[in-house]
Amino acid sequence: MLNLLDLKLGRDLRALKSQALAVALVMACGLAMMIMTRSLIQSLDDARANYYEKHRFAEVFAELKRAPESLRQQIAVLPGVAAVETGIEVSVTLDLPNLAVPASGLINAVPERRPVVLNQLYLRRGRLLEGAGTGEVLVSEAFAEANALGPGDEIAAILNGRRQELRVVGIVLAPQYVFEARPGSALPDNQTFGIFWMREQELAEAFNLQGAFNEVAVSLAPGASEPEVIAALDRLLKPYGGLGAYGRSEHPSDIRVDDEIRVLEGLSFGFPLVFLSVAAFMTHSVMSRQIALQREQIAILKAFGFANRTIAWHFIKFALVIVVVGTALGTAGGFALGRQLVDMYHLFFRFPVLAFEPATGAIVGSLVASSAAALLGVASAVRKVVRLSPAQAMRPEPPASFRPALAERLGLARYLAVSVRMALRNIERKPWQAGFTCVALAMATGILIIPNAFRDGVRHILDFQWDTVQRQTATVSLVEPGPLRAAHDFAQLPGVIHTEPFRTVLVEMAAGHRSRRLAMHGLVNQGDLNRVIGLDGRPLTVRGRGLIISEALGETLGIQPGDTVTIRVLQGKRREVTLPVGGFSQDFAGIASFMELGALNRLLGEGDQISGAFMSVAGGQWEAFLRALKETPQAAGVVIKDAMRQSFRQTTAESIGLIQVIYSTFATVVAFGIVYNSARIALSERSRELATLRVLGFSRSDVGRVLVGELVLLAAVALPLGLWLGSGMAGLLIASINTETVRLPLVLSSSNYAYATLVIVLATTLSAWVACRKLHQLDLVGALKAAE
């Protein structure tokens, strides 16, 4: 007997295939997102954990001016320290034959007389710096790829003012450079900034650092307290120009991986939840309808002695088939998309291996979540089946009770066409169903808003950040802080229209018990090139002792404009001041702080010094400018605005773009699914009524209007609601994925609203059209036979 029921199940599914598929697709979209994001999280997490463990990534880091090698012993015996690695890291300017721009980077020392215990290198190609030798260099993979360098290639480096030819022998990765960017920059610029390794002896000689080190990394003993080790290290390094020790949570590379995972976590929850709720609602409406249609059949089954349980299970199986199809599609989709995104992570993150790892837990979770959604949807419908008494079900259902709609009760009846009245009364008779449809439509509209808000945020950054904020063509930094006069020298370079000097100094900013190490930028008062823009979009002026910090920093430190912060300079005289925060700036790249150049210099007490200059350069003389710059020994590096913009386009913008396309596609699928499903349900519920109208002499288009009227009415209510809802959801989601390193502004453009509206209108029209086409198949004669 059960086989017969299964046969019926097959037939029912076939009859409802397009609706069942619509539900399964909505489910699949939600699950694909969940599986994709959870798998990516797992892939990143595992790749990182493996890498860190195998290559012994340190846990606490510190840079300093210079300390004797003997200090290493003292560090090693600090309580909580398990292993110590000391080394040399210096800035370098490079001259690559086929690169017009001067490149820069950091060179690290590879010790020759002792093994490396922490932050060990991973060799991708060529060889490491084994044995004796000179003029050999290892190059980080990102830089090597961007500049097509391989073992055997020659590069020229300016080491402490002296030019030296170096031969590339190996391409490597290191766990402290998973994310490789200029210090303080949120964006990779792999063509002009790289990481290099040379033999310690050679490097120390060039920089007069023999028998000394300027950076430390330590790993912690089990159970050790990181803050205590940091404090102990700070005390120990202070006399040697320590720049403040920090843990992994402030490590510029690790924090980026963390942030990415945090973004994925944000995405892995909200979206799927919305999609699955919609799927639950759709399951509910499809199943309720199915059960209403099969009233008599159910009654007969019951009369024949089928147990309630058997019949209920029959309908639950219907829902579970949808779940299985949805989960299968979702898993396949999630894997395919996840693989694509993993490939893209190569742009940001350099791991020895970053393989896509399916999160099996997420698949199980999806199955559970979608089953829960489907069961939730089917529960009340099945309850109806159980309650149905056979005798009652064999009688035709009495006509449904209606009453005049609210609008009519308010006396507006004569303004309403009959079809509108029918629609209004229908809606009022089943307010829950109408409400759910409305909410589902609003959600469909809303989720269309989110991905495009991402897109608009990115566009805003592309235009705003690099046209409104950064109006300089290039930023040139000095090898080390120099006199104000250096800016005038730069002004003499060919094509330079205007220069503005700046000073950058590493500080620790603290408020209460929260603190952050970061660069403080000293800018000229009312500067015209690199401007600081307030939250209202207007430029802020730095003057007096006023301090401006980015909103992200304000959040990190938990302060508001007007609050005071303690600033400890980590260089030079190491002064400490307490200053009020004058205002918040907006900055897509996270934490930042600004002061007036003179005020910063007074604070530092080292005279009028600058770290570099912003300059605008005439387009026609760009080549000449770069050539001259390459010959200028004081210029340590140059950041070219267009290159940064390009980098942003290729990395952040591209990944957000891909996510936007995926989500936008999914949202569109959901929008169509919901509207189509609603139209089909309406058609099924009203087919008898519509057939009657046809028999009574109404044309197909008349009847179509009656059918579509209700849907249009609901869509008209849902649309503005959805736009509002979507704006809120976009704000929430962007806030939840905004991290310290990348900040996306919430931009809600009219084109975004227009697109969402268009999709919903299109979905409604198309679904209405499909439903109206089905009117051709309406069985006029059948409608006159027994009630449904």
Partner 1 sequence: MAASPPPDPPLVVARDLTKTYGSGHAAVQALRGVDLDLPAGELVVLLGASGSGKSTLLNLIGGLDQPTHGELLYRGWDVAQADEAGLTAYRRDVVGFVFQFYNLIASLTARENIALITEVSRRPMSPDEALDLVGLTNRADHFPAQLSGGEQQRVAIARAIAKRPELLLCDEPTGALDVKTGMLVLEAIQRINRDIGTLTLVITHNAVLAEMADRVFTMSDGRLELARVNSHPRPVQELSW
Which residues here bind partner 1, judged by CB under 8 A? 396, 398-403, 418, 421-422, 425-426, 429, 688-689, 692-700, 780-781, 783-787
Rounded to a whole number of angstroms, the minimum distance from the CB of residue 787 to partner 1 is 5
Rounded to a whole number of angstroms, the minimum distance from the CB of residue 442 to partner 1 is 25
Residue (206 or 393) nearer to partner 1, CB:
393
Residue (77 or 781) nearer to partner 1, CB:
781
Break the chain down into helix, strand, coil percent, rounded to 5: 55, 20, 25
Strands 609-617 and 496-511: antiparallel
Q: Quick one: which of 231, 207, 199, 202 has its CA closest to 218? A: 231
Rounded to a whole number of angstroms, the minimum distance from the CB of residue 365 to partner 1 is 44
Amino acid at 682: A
Q: How far apart are CA 668 and CA 258, in angstroms?
A: 31
CA angle (765, 768, 774) in 5-degree steps = 145
Rounded to a whole number of angstroms, the minimum distance from the CB of residue 448 to partner 1 is 32
Q: How far apart are CA 788 and CA 685, in angstroms?
A: 10
Rounded to a whole number of angstroms, the minimum distance from the CB of residue 775 to partner 1 is 11
Contact 170, 128 (CB under 8 A): yes
Q: How far apart are CA 713 and CA 690, in angstroms?
A: 18
Six-digit token string for 151? 């073992």
Residue (591 or 783) nearer to partner 1, CB:
783
Rounded to a whole number of angstroms, the minimum distance from the CB of residue 4 to partner 1 is 22
- The DSSP bridge partners found for residue 154 are 167
Residue (45 or 428) nearer to partner 1, CB:
428
Q: How far apart are CA 588 and CA 593, in angstroms?
A: 13
- The DSSP bridge partners found for residue 105 are 92, 194
Residue (137 or 424) nearer to partner 1, CB:
424
Q: How far apart are CA 639 and CA 717, in angstroms?
A: 51
- The DSSP bridge partners found for residue 196 are 107, 139
Q: How far is residue 542 CA from its own chain's centroid?
A: 32
Rounded to a whole number of angstroms, the minimum distance from the CB of residue 304 to partner 1 is 24
Six-digit token string for 65? 């001016």
Q: Quick one: which of 327, 354, 325, 322 has its CA closest to 338? A: 354
Residue (694 or 743) nearer to partner 1, CB:
694
Residue (306 or 698) nearer to partner 1, CB:
698
Amino acid at 640: I
Residue (567 or 772) nearer to partner 1, CB:
772
Rounded to a whole number of angstroms, the minimum distance from the CB of residue 681 to partner 1 is 16
CB burial string 306-315: b at 16+ within 10 A, e below? beeeebbebb
Rounded to a whole number of angstroms, the minimum distance from the CB of residue 12 to partner 1 is 23
Rounded to a whole number of angstroms, the minimum distance from the CB of residue 423 to partner 1 is 9
Residue (305 or 398) nearer to partner 1, CB:
398
- The DSSP bridge partners found for residue 617 are 496
Residue (688 or 774) nearer to partner 1, CB:
688
In a 3-state reduction of DSSP, which class is residue 720?
helix
CB burial string 334-373: b at 16+ within 10 A, e below? bbebbbebbebbebbbbbeebebbbbeebbebbbebbbeb
Taking CB atoms within 8 Å and a gap of at least 24, the contacts of 747-752 are: 747/453, 747/456, 747/457, 747/459, 747/460, 748/449, 748/453, 748/456, 749/452, 749/456, 751/452, 751/456, 752/449, 752/452, 752/453, 752/455, 752/456
Q: How far apart are CA 93 and CA 90, in angstroms?
A: 10
Q: How far apart are CA 502 and CA 612, in angstroms?
A: 6
In a 3-state reduction of DSSP, which class is residue 654?
helix
Residue (396 or 720) nearer to partner 1, CB:
396
Rounded to a whole number of angstroms, the minimum distance from the CB of residue 704 to partner 1 is 13
Rounded to a whole number of angstroms, the minimum distance from the CB of residue 397 to partner 1 is 10
Residue (147 or 426) nearer to partner 1, CB:
426
Measured N-to-C along each axis, helices 252-293 and 308-345 cross at an angle, to the nearest 10 degrees, of: 150
Residue (552 or 681) nearer to partner 1, CB:
681
Q: How far apart are CA 479 and CA 490, in angstroms?
A: 14
CB burial string 697-736: b at 16+ within 10 A, e below? eeeeeebbbbbbbbbbbbbebbbebbbebbbebbeebbee
Q: What is the CA radius of gyration of the chain?
A: 33
Residue (394 or 735) nearer to partner 1, CB:
394
SS3 of 315-356? HHHHHHHHHHHHHHHHHHHHHHHHHHHHHHHCCCECCCCCCC
Rounded to a whole number of angstroms, the minimum distance from the CB of residue 440 to partner 1 is 23
Residue (132 or 781) nearer to partner 1, CB:
781
Rounded to a whole number of angstroms, the minimum distance from the CB of residue 288 to partner 1 is 18
Residue (50 or 392) nearer to partner 1, CB:
392
Rounded to a whole number of angstroms, the minimum distance from the CB of residue 691 to partner 1 is 8
Rounded to a whole number of angstroms, the minimum distance from the CB of residue 388 to partner 1 is 19
Rounded to a whole number of angstroms, the minimum distance from the CB of residue 664 to partner 1 is 38
Rounded to a whole number of angstroms, the minimum distance from the CB of residue 279 to partner 1 is 30
Q: Helices (DSSP H) in 388-472: which residue ranges?
A: 390-394, 406-407, 418-429, 431-460
Residue (355 or 400) nearer to partner 1, CB:
400
Measured N-to-C along each axis, helices 252-293 and 700-737 cross at an angle, to the nearest 10 degrees, of: 150
Residue (307 or 784) nearer to partner 1, CB:
784
DSSP state of 644: H
